Amino acid sequence: NVLILDFGSQYTQLIARRVRELNIYCEIHPYNNPPENINDFKAVILSGSPFSVRAEDAPHPDLSEIRGKRPLLAVCYGAQYLAHFSGGEVAPSNTREYGRANLSFIKEGEDFFANISEGSQVWMSHSDTIKQLPEGAVHLASTSDVENAAYRIEGEDTYAIQFHPEVYHSTDGKQLLENFLVNIAGIAQDWTSDSFVDSTVQELKEKLGDDKVVLGLSGGVDSTVAGVLLHKAIGKNLHCIFVNNGLLRKNEFESVLKQYEGMGLNVKGVDASARFLDALAGISDPEQKRKTIGRVFIEVFDDEANKIENAKWLAQGTIYPDVIESVSVKGPSATIKSHHNVGGLPDFMKLKVVEPLRMLFKDEVRRVGASMGIDPELLGRHPFPGPGLAIRILGDITSEKVRILQEVDAIFIDGLKENGLYNKVWQAGAMLLPVNSVGVMGDERTYEKVVALRAVESTDGMTADWVNLPYEFLQKTSNQIINKVKGVNRVVYDISSKPPATIEWE
């Protein structure tokens, strides 16, 4: 429906999320690799960019198929680009133009600014400014520092704004997007969870016919929602495999397997704990752990998938942030941790891939899950890393260490739930540290393990801050852990933010 051309702004995904919150479907494509079917899009939005339009290597999109042919909204860089290359003037600004500002002037009678009043707060983030508007421009709005904060081109449905409507701090940003997309571009707001489920189930039916499909379930939100969608479309032809790698939370394998069965999924639980633990014996290096787990998972999964005769497809719970092709600004970002479950399984599986959630953001996956009646508790689960407790046991892994950490983790997580704190936290867990410390229990000197508790707030895991859990809760949890879990005599709480720390300790 709506095409967002990305120029590498950190906010591009936010534009997409705001548009979708209006129940309008949109896709992000890099400006230098636009989709071929541009005519299928009813409107186009140009994102911001870290570049200056005056820089030699700045993006030069070809807008010949867009400008004047369909409604166009140019944000920040986009607005400067239109000005710079159509007879206007863009120059470095003298004043700082970052952060909050207020619209001090709005031209009256413009549909674009319907229901938005002077004084409205907007978010600026740019170092160049539009000194002179391009040919045919009508000036629409200003802030005290930015004269040309918005303009349109006479005779076209082309609008340009210097501020970022997608950022939460632009109070009327969503209204502005609605004005543009609904009132000006005439797009219907009919993309909802229910309509997504209906159309996706229909598409899956047509695509898959009577073929058999294999899906690996992890207990996480994405694979579960993908499973339920596919099950709606093809029923028993969906063969799910749920592998216990022995590194899940306490009782997780059994309870989640039951839930899956309760949903009517055709699921096989495979307990491969011993195989994983054997392969991991003696390995301390975090990347080595991840690689080993990834390799064994593929072996186990392949063994199981091969038992399903004539399987044609491999389904995956890939979501949109994993597939958006990004505009590289500073070269490929360095690999910090090899997330083994991003990128999919290797070719030898020789199955065609089907990814019913590949165009959805995480919160949309949750809403789709809810609209299909999936248990809210399952949908609200904290993220849990693919390698599981292996990367929360620092140093080498033994079954005894797994047992200790499972007990500690269960006390912590159950405590969060019992005290109404679970949903206030984005992710929580416990780390087993590779040190012993001295303690006293009764008259005895102990020399036992230290565990660290971690609870963070985040929206996407890219940045995170530790959660200020109540002292009473931490106190109670620490007592319970030390009294109940043999082998642990000290509990610490991790108060590091990401960056510079990471969420996991390995």
Cβ atoms < 10 Å from Cβ of 51:
20
Residue 485, both tokens: 């879990």
Cβ atoms < 10 Å from Cβ of 483:
11
For residues 166 and 416, give the distance between their C-alpha atoms in angstroms, rounded to a whole number: 33
Cβ atoms < 10 Å from Cβ of 474:
17
Is 369 assigned to a binding site? no
Interface mask (CB under 6 A) for ligand XMP, residues 313-352, using x and -?
------------------------x-xxx-----------
Pick from 70, 126, 275, 290 the residue near ligand XMP by CB under 6 A: 290
Residue 275 CB, nearest approach to ligand XMP (Å): 19
Nearest CB to ligand XMP, comparing residues 223 and 478: 223
Catalytic residue (choose from 164, 231, 239, 340): 164
Is 158 assigned to a binding site? no
Amino acid at 114: A
Residue 209, both tokens: 């016919």
Is 224 assigned to a binding site? yes
By CB under 6 A, is residue 502 in contact with ligand XMP?
Answer: yes
Nearest CB to ligand XMP, comparing residues 50 and 461: 461
Angle of helix 273-280 relative to helix 286-307, nearest 10 degrees, comes to 150
Nearest CB to ligand XMP, comparing residues 211 and 457: 457
Q: Which helix (H) or strand (E) holds 95?
A: strand 89-106
Residue 60 annotated among the catalytic residues of the structure: no
Interface mask (CB under 6 A) for ligand XMP, residues 447-486, using x and -?
--------------x-------------------------
Residue 164 annotated among the catalytic residues of the structure: yes
By CB under 6 A, is residue 356 in contact with ligand XMP?
Answer: no
For residues 284 and 210, give the distance between their C-alpha atoms in angstroms, rounded to a whole number: 46
Residue 244 CB, nearest approach to ligand XMP (Å): 16
Residue 491 CB, nearest approach to ligand XMP (Å): 20
3-class secondary structure per residue, 242-297: EEECCCCCCCHHHHHHHHHHHCCCCEEEEECHHHHHHHHCCCCCHHHHHHHHHHHH
Instruction: Give yes or no for a contact between 375 and 234, defined as CB atoms under 8 angstroms apart.
Output: no
Question: What burial letters (b/e) apply to 408-437, b meaning 16+ CB within 10 Å?
Answer: bbbbbbebbeeeebbeebbbbbbbbbeeee
Catalytic residue (choose from 97, 166, 407, 506): 166
Nearest CB to ligand XMP, comparing residues 195 and 423: 423
Residues in region 395-414 near ligand XMP by CB under 6 A: none
Residue 459 CB, nearest approach to ligand XMP (Å): 11
Length of the chain, in residues: 506
Nearest CB to ligand XMP, comparing residues 160 and 293: 293
Residues in region 364-393 near ligand XMP by CB under 6 A: 383, 385-387
Nearest CB to ligand XMP, comparing residues 250 and 290: 290
Residue 493 CB, nearest approach to ligand XMP (Å): 17
By CB under 6 A, is residue 427 in contact with ligand XMP?
Answer: yes
Is 220 assigned to a binding site? yes
For residues 319 and 224, give the distance between their C-alpha atoms in angstroms, rounded to a whole number: 12
Helices (H), ranges, 129-219:
173-178, 193-208
Instruction: Give yes or no for a contact between 25 and 181, defined as CB atoms under 8 angstroms apart.
Output: no
By CB under 6 A, is residue 503 in contact with ligand XMP?
Answer: yes
Burial class of residue 443 (count of CB atoms within 10 Å of its CB; 0-12, 13-18, 19+): exposed
Nearest CB to ligand XMP, comparing residues 255 and 459: 459
Is 109 assigned to a binding site? no
| Residues with catalytic roles | 76, 164, 166
Which chain residues interact with ligand XMP by CB under 6 A? 290, 337, 339-341, 383, 385-387, 427, 461, 498, 502-504
Binding residues for ATP: 218-224
Name the binding residues.
218-224
